Amino acid sequence: MLERFHLNKDPIITSLALLGVNCNLTARDWIVTEEASNILKFFDLITKEVSAEKSITLSKTKVIVMLIIKKLLSFQQMSHLSEKSKKLIQDLHDGVLDRFNYLNTNTIAQATILDPRFKKDGFDNDDEFKKCYDSIASDMTKITEINDTNSEPQQETQVEQENCDSFWSEFDNTRKETRCVSL
């Protein structure tokens, strides 16, 4: 909407002049609307991307937030922006960090590694990736150790399973005999 307002700058000014309405917008205000429009375009693209999907994974959310932060940081590096636009960028950056702070958990980092679309690319740096990778390897080792210590109860379960199978086979045989007699 802000972009459309900026694109229609001349017709708006002309209409206000024809109607005799005093326009309090300065040239600087029009520059700020153009800069804000360019800054917010990225958020519009992300909104369309997320809205197009029926559901979105945590790993994709993490990557999208990472991209938003990088884009906002690149906007902050632009020296030609007005102070109001820089304030907008800083407020957006702080808001994104505050709102999506929960994405910096180990569980979401593991989901990002395990998502084949992102893997290592879903991390800001190699140290974060290595820490998460080691965490997954440690968890897998624990699962293996638990399975190794529980190997004897599995044998007992197999014996019980055989008894269950014989029970059901007995039932199936009885059922077959009943069918033959009733026919």
Residue 119 sits in the same domain as residue 173:
no
Residue 132 sits in the same domain as residue 180:
no
pTM greater than the 0.75 cutoff: no
Residue 181 sits in the same domain as residue 112:
no
Q: What is the pLDDT of residues 83-123, one digit of tens each?
A: 999 999 999 999 999 999 888 888 888 898 888 888 888 88
Q: What is the pLDDT of residues 30-79, one digit of tens each?
A: 889 899 999 999 999 999 989 998 988 888 899 899 999 999 999 999 88
Residue 137 sits in the same domain as residue 78:
yes
- DSSP states along 100-117: TGGG-SHHHHHHHHHSTT
Residue 158 sits in the same domain as residue 144:
no
d(CA 142, CA 60): 28
Q: What is the pLDDT of residues 141-162, one digit of tens each?
A: 888 777 766 665 555 545 455 5
Residue 76 sits in the same domain as residue 115:
yes
- Measured in whole angstroms, the distance separating CA 70 from the mean position of its chain's CA atoms is 15
DSSP character at residue 21: P
Q: How many domains does the chain have?
A: 2
Contact in structure between 119 and 63 (CB atoms under 8 Å) = no
Residue 53 sits in the same domain as residue 127:
yes
Residue 105 sits in the same domain as residue 30:
yes
Residue 119 sits in the same domain as residue 130:
yes
- Residue range(s) defining the domain that contains residue 179: 153-183
d(CA 108, CA 77): 29
Residue 49 sits in the same domain as residue 101:
yes
